Amino acid sequence: MVDDYTEKQLKDLKDLKVKDIILDSKPRKEKIKTVFSNERVLAEVLDESRELYNQSRYGTLLDNGKLQLSLLEALYLLEKNKIEIADSRGKNLDFEQFLKRATKFEPNFWIRYCVFKDMRNRGYIIKTALKFGADFRVYDRGVKPGEDHARWIIYPVHEGATLTWYDFAAKNRVAHSTKKRLMMGIVDDEGDVTYYEIRWMKP
């Protein structure tokens, strides 16, 4: 009953209600709408899209102002509820649907995504490194592409995969020639990643 409340308790209840109203009145950010077509994910020309690029270097800004995301970036942002992805018919895709389609283009997509996601969650900017002959290049925390060179190149590998000494030596040569550190991201069946950094040593 109301009579059972003290004046202080009633005041505290009123304060809580006021705080709830203030919190609820904060505008919620709308998800950025994107379209998946021809192995590309394109975001609308919006300030929010440019913010994704400017703050965290997601995607590539095109001449027309649109933001083009890689399949890995798109899946990560979809999982984080930052974007919506529609197919060419306008049907929204959920995480599993988009993953299934992306895997058709890249058979090793899930292994690569586990490493991409883990690095992003740790606060690193991770980008593709195809021109270096590697899967990814990774920048130190707080460093954006264009501000400094990448610190590592990373090769995602499933824990059950076989790697020949020739392949291993080739990856070392790529890292050495590009003056970057070589890191192997070993992905287990649960999607957890363990990293091994390999360096050249002179006896």
Alpha-carbon distance of 161 to 108, in angstroms, equals 11
Tokens at 67, concatenated: 């933001």
Q: Is residue 139 annotated as a catalytic residue, yes or no?
A: yes
d(CA 50, CA 80): 17
Catalytic status, residue 149: yes
Task: Kindly state the average pLDDT of the residues 152-156.
Answer: 93
Average pLDDT of every residue of the chain: 84
Where residue 25 falls among pLDDT bands split at 50, 70, 90?
very low
For 125, residues 6+ apart whose C-beta sits below 8 A from its C-beta are 56, 57, 138, 139, 143, 144, 145
CATH number of 32-105: 3.40.1170.20
CATH of domain 109-198: 3.40.1350.10
pLDDT in the model for residue 19:
45
- What would the pLDDT profile of 11-22 be if each residue is shown by its tens digit? 554 554 444 434
Q: Which of 117, 127, 171, 180 is catalytic?
A: 180
What share of the chain has pLDDT > 90, as a percent? Answer: 48
Paired tokens of 110: 């899930």
- Residue 114 burial (CB count, 10 A): 20
Give span(s): CATH 3.40.1170.20, the chain: 32-105
Alpha-carbon gap, residue 2 to 122, rounded angstroms: 50
Decide which of 199 and 82 is more confident.
Answer: 82
The confidence score (pLDDT) of residue 13 equals 44
Catalytic residue among 139, 155, 196, 202: 139
- Among residues 14, 17, 149, 176, the one annotated as catalytic is 149
Active site annotation includes 82: no
